Structure 1
């Protein structure tokens, strides 16, 4: 029995660890199998082996999902860096963008999709036509998506633990107030007093993330007159139309809205950095290094 236990506890390989991470990230054996490109019985077999190795169920079914045990969460945290480093070791060192069919997953939100992605995809279609770009919504889960291997690159204003992630600042951004062109507030510069009194649409991204202008307002002992909360700024022009509402958005989003809104500088002196993050898994990959340089290049071209 002791010999069997010893054998079981050493029966751990990289494929099993990747399987564990995939099930953890997708909360499903079938979705994990699809992501890994294997049959579902292979996933079940690897998880069964790991259950024997760790003497823990690892996942329990709740509703329609496979929920990790505390021990599973601990194991995934420990093996993430290891599997990322192993993936980096076997990544091709040579990369020809003209023929490479690399698939890159970028996690970002509305701002990055309208400010950076159009320029990036035009460049890729010209210089790397076989490269496939998959853009997913990060909301406030971008850091977790990156750590779980669900994305290769995260772009956004959030702060991520840089001890386990690499970071490159792409853009510095200020805030602009937008409103319906017929709003009386559009006739003159916005004062701080008028700003905090005006009924406002607030973009609430969820979780603990708060837009920087709200943090600065709070430090001043002030708060906005919130009339409505929405999860994304994408619908703001339609929501402002024909109302006395205002909204505070990053200045490049305001420019994207164009003549559909009136705009003026926000009286709250707040700035944000738009950062790009990645992990050890792709740090030394020639293909991912190339695409990160292209992201930085197009961001540098943004006015």
Structure 2
């Protein structure tokens, strides 16, 4: 074990290095993100090991794994850094002068529909603010709690008092098929819809689409011809076939060019939410980013509705 070091030798910069290594699970990536030499990161982590009398990170195979003590320290460090940042922030927040990093967790839908406009708006108003987009999969809330993301965007519920949330907009499901499909050009009834050859998006098998949950509630089984993990490229599967995919309407407008789109007969909808935790709730930069996301989504929906 590294020789203990006086805790007063720790400064906020050292804690920032620790948090970055924890989030990125890599000394090299942390050094690149902080724009310092990797030796600086290694030296800082070695010093912190002495301060906390713990290895903080261990290697298993090719992965860098945080110890329980490291997770405890990172949780407290994030709270300290957030409170100090709030204390040191100017009374009037100026996006043009702000730095730092904002990490947004989302999936394919949000990366196609929301993220481009949000990123462009952030870059235009806060050019020094770094942006990291990470996959939320079905683990979005866990990413927030593990400090791997600052914001979560998607069809997620808040799930308890640990989270704050704000609804961005509603979406609905539509059916996407080839224009030569026998049912193209007709209004689908539930009886028409159920026996068709469906492409089902599994989202990794851990999250069920709202329309599938509603069919389960109503007692219907949907015959699935093909299962895919994501909507990415699904239009290429459908083209020239009798397959049908049920996807959110706004996504169909982005990827469904040349295909026939009709309303889904399953009576349900999708709430797209913005979710965050108390860690960033009062931070001026994060409040500004959340408002920007909300305003960009309003502009998107106004353009399409």
Which TM-score applies when normalising by structure 1?
A: 0.82
Q: What's the counterpart of residue 293 of structure 1?
A: 291
1:43-192 paired onto structure 2 within 5 Å = 43-97=41-95, 99-100=96-97, 102=99, 104-120=102-118, 123=121, 128=125, 130=127, 134=131, 136-140=133-137, 141-161=139-159, 163-192=161-190
Q: Any stretches of 5+ residues in structure 1 without a counterpart?
A: none
Deviation at 1:136, TM superposition (A): 1.6
Deviation at 1:184, TM superposition (A): 0.9
The 3 A distance-change label for structure 1 pair 22 and 85 is same
Which TM-score applies when normalising by structure 2?
A: 0.81
Q: Any stretches of 5+ residues in structure 2 without a counterpart?
A: none
Deviation at 1:237, TM superposition (A): 1.6
The 3 A distance-change label for structure 1 pair 207 and 119 is same
- Secondary structure of 2:203's partner? coil
CA RMSD of the aligned region, Å?
3.1
Q: Is the 8 A contact 2:136 2:143 kept in 1?
A: no
Q: What's the counterpart of residue 227 of structure 1?
A: 225
Correspondence for 1:22 among 10, 20, 23: 20
Equivalent-residue separation in structure 2 for 1:164 and 1:267 (angstroms) = 36
Runs of 4 or more, structure 1, over 6 Å off, are none
Deviation at 1:250, TM superposition (A): 0.9
The 3 A distance-change label for structure 1 pair 147 and 183 is same
Q: What's the counterpart of residue 202 of structure 2?
A: 204
Equivalent-residue separation in structure 2 for 1:284 and 1:218 (angstroms) = 40
Q: Is the 8 A contact 1:108 1:137 kept in 2?
A: yes
Equivalent-residue separation in structure 2 for 1:259 and 1:9 (angstroms) = 60
Equivalent-residue separation in structure 2 for 1:291 and 1:69 (angstroms) = 32
Deviation at 1:251, TM superposition (A): 1.5
1:253-272 paired onto structure 2 within 5 Å = 253-272=251-270
Correspondence for 1:36 among 34, 38, 61: 34
Equivalent-residue separation in structure 2 for 1:130 and 1:79 (angstroms) = 26
Q: Is the 8 A contact 2:195 2:223 kept in 1?
A: yes
Equivalent-residue separation in structure 1 for 2:34 and 2:120 (angstroms) = 29
Q: What's the counterpart of residue 241 of structure 2?
A: 243
Q: Deviations over 1:35-86 (max 9, x none)?
A: 3343333332333333334433222112222112334334434544343333
Q: Deviations over 1:265-293 (max 9, x none)?
A: 21222222111123445433444433322
Bigger mean CA offset, 248-257 vs 147-156: 147-156
The 3 A distance-change label for structure 1 pair 77 and 294 is closer
- Secondary structure of 1:174's partner? strand
The 3 A distance-change label for structure 1 pair 182 and 237 is same
Q: What's the counterpart of residue 193 of structure 1?
A: 191
Q: Is the 8 A contact 2:143 2:149 kept in 1?
A: yes
Q: Is the 8 A contact 1:175 1:249 kept in 2?
A: yes
